[in-house]
Amino acid sequence: MLNYHRNMVLAAYRAAHPDNLEVEEETITDFDAELFEIYDARLRQQAGQANIPVNKFNLSMLVFFANQSGGQLVATRVRHAIRFFRSVQPQP
């Protein structure tokens, strides 16, 4: 079972690897685990501080946004993700 919604993990992977059109499930699972290791603790902390409910949908959107940020530090990327999330207010 993935930590984040499969479609968001796949979208993040495709954004990072635009030439890989044939993605195996094991690759998606590994990428999900990598995203979790890099971002999850910081996402949960900052989302809670920003009054964003911490649930699988919101975390999935936030991890996608953070992974797309051009920030150098994880904290910066998560801060960008929180700001963008609040501005677009994604819905499940």
Amino acid at the residue 12: A
Question: What pLDDT score does 20 carry?
Answer: 85
pLDDT tens by residue, 28-46: 999 999 999 999 999 999 9
- Parse the chain into domains and list their residue ranges: 6-88
pTM given for the model: 0.93
Distances (CA, A) of 73 to 68, 76, 79: 12, 5, 10
Mean pLDDT in the chain?
A: 95
